[in-house]
Amino acid sequence: MSTSTAAVRSPRKIGAPVRWLLGKIGGGIFVLWAVATAIFFGIRMIPGDPAQAIMGGPGSQASAEALAAARTEYGLDQPLYLQYFGQLRRLATGDLGTSYSLKTPVADVLGELLPPTLILAGLALLVAWAMALGLGILSTRSGVLGSAVASGLEIVSAAVPHFWLASVLIMVFSTMLGWLPPVSTNTPAGLVLPVITLALPLAGFLGQVMRDTMETAQRSAFALSARARGESEVGVLLRHSLRHAALPGIALSGWALGSLLSGAVVVESIFARPGLGRTLLSAVTARDIPLVTGVALVSAAAYVVIMAFSDLAERLVDPRIGTP
Amino acid sequence: MTLARPLANRLFPAATALAAALVLAGCTPGTTTSDSSDTAGTPVTGGTLVYASGDAEPSCLDPHVGGNYPQALVASQFLETLYTKDADGTLIPWLAEGSTVSDDGLTRTVKIRQGISFTDGTALDAEAVKANFEHLLDPATASSTGYLALGKIASMKAVDAATLELALKTPDNSLLESFSMPWVAIESPAALKRTQAENCAAPVGTGPFKVESWKKQDSVNLVRNAAYASPDPAAAHAGTAYLDAITWRFIPEAATRIAALQAGEVQVIDNAQPDAIAAAAKNSAIKHLDAPRPGASNRVELNSSKAPFNDAKVREAFIHAVNIDASIDSLFFGTAPRSYSPLSSVEPLAYSDESLFDYDPAKAGELLDAAGWKERDAEGYRVKDGTRLSLSFPVSTSQSIPAEQSIFEQMQATAKESGIEIKINLLDISSWYGELAKNDYNLVSAPYTKVGPSVLSILFHSDSTIPAPSGYFANLSQVKNPALDALLDKAGSTSDEAERKDLYTQAQKLVLEGHYLLPLYDQQNHFLYSEKLQNVGATSAVATPLFTDTWLAN
User: Any chain B CB within 8 A of the CB of A38?
Assistant: no
Question: Per-residue b/e over B82-91, b at no fewer than 16 CB within 10 Å?
Answer: bbbbeeeeeb
- Chain B: nearest CA to A148, how far in angstroms? 30
Pair A86, A78: CB distance under 8 Å: yes
The DSSP line for B499-528 is HHHHHHHHHHHHHHHTT-EEEEEPPP-EEE
Pair B506, B488: CB distance under 8 Å: no
Cα(B324)–Cα(B414) distance, integer angstroms: 9
CB contact under 8 A, A63 and B253: no
CB contact under 8 A, A113 and B217: yes
Of the candidates A61, A65, A182, which has its C-beta nearest B468's C-beta?
Answer: A61
pLDDT reported for residue A100: 84
Q: What is the mean pLDDT of chain B?
A: 90
Pair A112, A99: CB distance under 8 Å: no
H and E: helices and strands count for chain B: 18, 23
Greatest distance between any 2 Cα atoms in chain A: 85
Per-residue pLDDT reduced to its tens digit, B16-66: 444 444 443 333 333 333 333 344 578 999 999 999 999 989 989 999 998
The DSSP line for B139-155 is GGG-BSHHHHHTTTEEE
- Ordered alpha helix ranges (H), B353-439: 361-370, 402-417, 429-437
Task: Please list the residues that pair with B101 across neighbouring strands.
Answer: B108
CB contact under 8 A, A272 and B256: yes
Of the candidates A62, A175, A183, which has its C-beta nearest B251's C-beta?
Answer: A183
3-state secondary structure of B110: strand
Cα(B172)–Cα(B150) distance, integer angstroms: 10
CB contact under 8 A, A69 and B140: yes
Cα(A29)–Cα(A11) distance, integer angstroms: 27
3-state secondary structure of A156: helix
145-164 in chain B: CB under 8 A from chain A? 147-148
pLDDT reported for residue B133: 97
Q: Using alpha carbons, select from B66, B32, B72 the residue that is nearest to residue B53.
A: B72
Q: Are strands B286-290 and B298-302 parallel, antiparallel or unpaired?
A: unpaired
Top-ranked range on mean pLDDT: pick from A145-149, B202-206, B434-438, B465-469: B202-206
55-84 in chain B: CB under 8 A from chain A? 56-57, 59-60, 65-68
CB contact under 8 A, B142 and A182: no
Task: Please list the residues that pair with A49 across neighbouring strands.
Answer: none
Cα(B54)–Cα(B94) distance, integer angstroms: 29
Q: Using alpha carbons, select from A208, A204, A210 the residue that is nearest to residue A156.
A: A204
> Residue B209 to residues B129, B199, B204, B223: CA-CA distances in angstroms?
20, 16, 10, 5
H and E: helices and strands count for chain A: 14, 0
Residue A159 has pLDDT above 60, yes or no: yes
User: Any chain B CB within 8 A of the CB of A67?
Assistant: yes
> Residue B15 to residues A40, A120, B21, B28, B296: CA-CA distances in angstroms?
34, 21, 10, 18, 31
Pair B71, B58: CB distance under 8 Å: yes
Per-residue pLDDT reduced to its tens digit, B173-182: 999 999 999 9
Cα(B479)–Cα(B107) distance, integer angstroms: 31
List of residues 6+ apart from B272 with CB closer than 8 A = B254, B257, B258, B280, B288, B526, B527, B528
Judging contacts by C-beta atoms under 8 Å, the chain A residues touching residue B251 are 183, 272
Q: Which residue has the higher pLDDT, B123 or B437?
A: B123
Per-residue pLDDT reduced to its tens digit, A265-309: 899 999 999 899 888 888 887 788 889 899 989 888 888 888 888
- Chain B: nearest CA to A93, how far in angstroms? 25
3-state secondary structure of B158: strand
Per-residue pLDDT reduced to its tens digit, B371-409: 999 999 999 999 999 999 999 999 998 889 999 999 999
Task: Tell me the mean pLDDT in the region A187-206.
Answer: 89
CB contact under 8 A, A61 and B429: no
> What H or E segment, with its residue span, contains residue B534?
strand B533-534
pLDDT reported for residue B46: 94
> What H or E segment, with its residue span, contains residue B375?
strand B375-376
Task: Please list the residues that pair with B98 across neighbouring strands.
Answer: B111
List the B387-388 sheet strands across, edge first: B375-376, B382-384, B387-388
Handedness of CA A218, A222, A224, A229 (dihedral sign): negative
List of residues 6+ apart from B65 with CB closer than 8 A = A56, B141, B142, B143, B196, B200
pLDDT reported for residue A48: 67
Task: Tell me the mean pLDDT in the region B275-302.
Answer: 94
CB contact under 8 A, B66 and A59: yes
Question: Per-residue b/e over B266-290, b at no fewer than 16 CB within 10 Å?
Answer: bbbbbbbbbbbbbbbeebebbbbbe
Cα(B548)–Cα(B546) distance, integer angstroms: 6
Q: Are strands B209-215 and B219-224 parallel, antiparallel or unpaired?
A: antiparallel
CB contact under 8 A, A103 and B262: no
297-326 in chain B: CB under 8 A from chain A? none
Comparing alpha-carbon positions, the chain A residue that sits nearest to B146 is A60
- Chain B: nearest CA to A174, how far in angstroms? 6
> Residue A249 to residues A204, A205, B510: CA-CA distances in angstroms?
12, 9, 69
User: Any chain B CB within 8 A of the CB of A53?
Assistant: yes
Per-residue pLDDT reduced to its tens digit, B84-102: 999 888 999 999 999 999 9
CB contact under 8 A, B14 and A181: no
Residue A49 has pLDDT above 80, yes or no: no
Residue A315 has pLDDT above 90, yes or no: no
Pair A99, A291: CB distance under 8 Å: yes
pLDDT reported for residue B10: 38
User: Any chain A CB within 8 A of the CB of B402?
Assistant: no
User: Any chain A CB within 8 A of the CB of B263?
Assistant: yes
pLDDT reported for residue B115: 95
User: Taking the mean position of all CA atoms in its chain, how far away is CA B121?
Assistant: 32
3-state secondary structure of B107: strand
253-292 in chain A: CB under 8 A from chain B? 266, 269-272, 274-275, 278-279, 281-282, 284-287
Q: Using alpha carbons, select from B410, B332, B406, B405 the residue that is nearest to residue B20.
A: B332
CB contact under 8 A, A48 and B29: no
CB contact under 8 A, B260 and A64: no
Pair B528, B286: CB distance under 8 Å: yes
- Ordered alpha helix ranges (H), B51-117: 69-75
Of the candidates B23, B216, B430, which has its C-beta nearest A48's C-beta?
Answer: B430
Q: What is the ipTM of this complex?
A: 0.79
Cα(A113)–Cα(A122) distance, integer angstroms: 14
CB contact under 8 A, B144 and A60: yes
CB contact under 8 A, B256 and A66: no
User: Any chain B CB within 8 A of the CB of A241?
Assistant: no
pLDDT reported for residue A59: 64
CB contact under 8 A, B8 and A278: yes
Comparing alpha-carbon positions, the chain B residue that sits nearest to A49 is B470
Handedness of CA B193, B195, B196, B201 (dihedral sign): negative
Cα(A98)–Cα(B197) distance, integer angstroms: 12
CB contact under 8 A, B27 and A175: yes
Cα(A60)–Cα(B71) distance, integer angstroms: 13
User: Any chain A CB within 8 A of the CB of B216?
Assistant: yes
